Structure 1
Amino acid sequence: MDVTGLLDTAAEAARAAGPRLRKAFRTRPGVSTKHDFHDPVTEHDRAAEESIRAVIDSRAPGSVIVGEEGGTTGSGELTWYVDPIDGTANFAAGLPFFCVSVAVAVRGELMAGVVYDPVREEEFTAGPDGARCNGAPLRSQGAARDREAVLLSSFPTPADVESRADAALHRYGRFLTSFAAVRKPGSAALMLAYVAAGWADAAYGTRSKPWDVAAGALLVSRAGGVYLGDPLAGGDYLAHVGGFDLRASALAEVAPH
């Protein structure tokens, strides 16, 4: 299996969405919703995914594509996980924290992934030779303890609060008082890329989908960090830089086993 070729295809596919997203950014595009008003989508999500799918279909015909907007199509040993805009709410509002995420698995094993920030032109890649950002090697290193660490988290989501409000808010309060800083930036894939780069020390999220975390999970692992959870199944996940003391962390109680 030519993993380098798969990575090249993932990078080309992710970058194919870039020109449209940069042009549309801060134009306040029209927003509709999917499951509820917390789950926005724009015409650019759909168009970007079409561009990504076109590249994959041309470079790796006979693949399965699992996309946030287009669902699951195709068949074969290769499965591509595509999020055309991870952080749609940020994109629609004009906040520059969103990305394109493309990952590929071979018979259920993640092999390559790309997280592409079209505003900053930062391309995070995970492949056979490790993890990189614009070609420079990444090392997932940072703080060892909560009190020195920056936590990026989507928790609590509205669904977390609706299902167990007291427990969710209590847990969030624990994070706020334990970590040096807690930020809720709004893109799981980009949060994981930042942990891979050592720009943040930990990331935690609930109720994720495979297209949210597949590429980011591989980035963290290939950069020498730790990813806990099943990126191809979704659900809860936790990631941290290498050397972080999880056992002594407030995150220990939510670490996926």
Structure 2
Amino acid sequence: MPDGYSTLHPAMHGMVNIGVRAARRAGEIMVRHLNRLESLEVIEKGRNEFVSAVDRLAEEAVIEVIRDHYPEHAILGEESGASGDHEYQWIIDPLDGTTNYLHGFPVYAVSIAVAQAGTLKHGVVYDPLRQEIFTASRGQGAQLDGRRIRVSKQISLRGALLATGFPYRITASRTDTYLDMLRAVLIETAGVRRLGSAALDLCYVAAGRVDGFWELGLQKWDIAAGTLIIREAGGRISDFNGTDAFIESGDLVAGTPKVYAALSKLLAPYARGL
């Protein structure tokens, strides 16, 4: 799709257009460095949690575009942390799927959300390899490359394809809980996929490519944009108690309305100990 369309589409809210422009700028940096992966500086922030020079460059590029248009807005970036004090806050994951990226595994994305006084208003997720732009504005529906998307029509776990992510920032006991969840889901569904990018997992639910998703221990920047995109595509997302506390806890379940309900019921007994 021509860059001019996706960054200056008249039907999109101005903040979404800026988010798309920023995401594309970050994506260009990722693609440009693909043939230099072995020489990238990589730091291990925590166990199985890495940050590369590309993460930092991509976030700087995103922030630069935002600052050019909304210099007064607050920002929460995965790499740079929180800055500013304003009712509007941009929530940025410049490279969701860093481990994939560093291994040349072609699944990663840029995730950018805008919250107003804590309420999600806009979301953008960009897959730079497929050049797919997922967008949403509160009350305006969700789009993929400017075309309306909806969750699938799947009504039960039987025959459903789900996505998940393996926890890597949590305790051994929570890992055991997750493995119990995975076993239960495998028995009840058509299959489970693990992409390695929660932002894309959420967008794939919104686009009907998978019917549901669950994960433990995610960060706000991983899920903010995807949360709005799912809801605007007619899906449901919450923590295992049905509340929005997942934005802070990172423990979540999502899907088509009926898959979400069935998955929540299936996983609830395991989630009590979280």
Alignment correspondent of 1:18: 27
Q: Alpha carbons of 1:146 and 1:54: their partners in 2 closer, same or farther (altered >3 Å)?
A: same
Aligned twin of 2:147:
136
**Runs of at least 4 residues of structure 1 off by over 6 A?**
none
1:138, 1:58 → 2: CA distance? 30
Residue type of the alignment partner of 2:37? R
Equivalent residue letter for 2:29: R
Matched position secondary structure for 1:33:
strand
Q: 3-state SS of the aligned residue for 1:50?
A: helix
Q: Is the 2:157–2:262 Cα contact (8 Å) retained in structure 1?
A: no
Q: Aligned partners of 2:74, 2:120: CA distance in 1, in Å?
A: 14
Matches within 5 A, 1:101-250: 101-127=111-137, 128-155=139-166, 157-160=167-170, 162-229=172-239, 230=244, 232-244=247-259, 246-247=261-262, 250=266
How far does the alpha carbon of each residue in 1:39-77 deviate from its partner, in whole angstroms, 9 at most, with x for none?
Answer: 011100000000000011111111110000010111111
- Residues 136/61 of structure 1: CA separation in 2 closer, same or farther (3 Å cut): same
Q: Is the 8 A contact 2:236 2:260 kept in 1?
A: no
The one-letter amino acid paired with 1:39 is E
2:141 and 2:207 map into 1 onto residues whose CA distance is 12
Deviation at 1:190, TM superposition (A): 0.5
TM-score scaled by structure 1?
A: 0.91
Q: Does the 8 A contact of 2:156 with 2:258 survive in 1?
A: no
Render the CA deviation track for 1:1-54: whole Å, top value 9, x for unaligned. xx8112112111111112111122354343321012x00111000000000000
User: What is the 5 A alignment of 1:20-35?
Assistant: 20-25=29-34, 27-29=36-38, 30=40, 31-35=42-46
Amino acid at match of 1:120: R
Q: How many residues were matched structurally? A: 252
Give the one of 4, 16, 22 matched to 1:7.
16
Shift, 1:246, TM fit: 2.0
User: Considering only aligned residues, what root-mean-square deviation do their CA atoms show, in Å?
Assistant: 2.0
**d(CA) in 1 for partners of 2:249, 2:91:** 11
C-alpha distance in structure 1 between counterparts of 2:153 and 2:163, whole Å? 14
Residue 78 of structure 1 is matched in structure 2 by 88
Q: Which moved more, 1:170-179 or 1:103-112?
A: 170-179
Q: 3-state DSSP class of the match of 1:100?
A: strand
Q: Deviations over 1:171-207 (max 9, x none)?
A: 2211222211111111111000000000000011111
- Percent identity over the alignment is 38
**What TM-score do you get using the length of structure 2 for normalisation?**
0.85
Distance 2:270 2:72 in 1: 39
Tell me the CA shift for residue 242 of structure 1.
3.6
Alpha carbons of 1:240 and 1:253: their partners in 2 closer, same or farther (altered >3 Å)? farther
CA displacement, residues 214-250 of structure 1 (integer Å, 9 cap, x when unaligned): 0000000001111114364242111102443624753
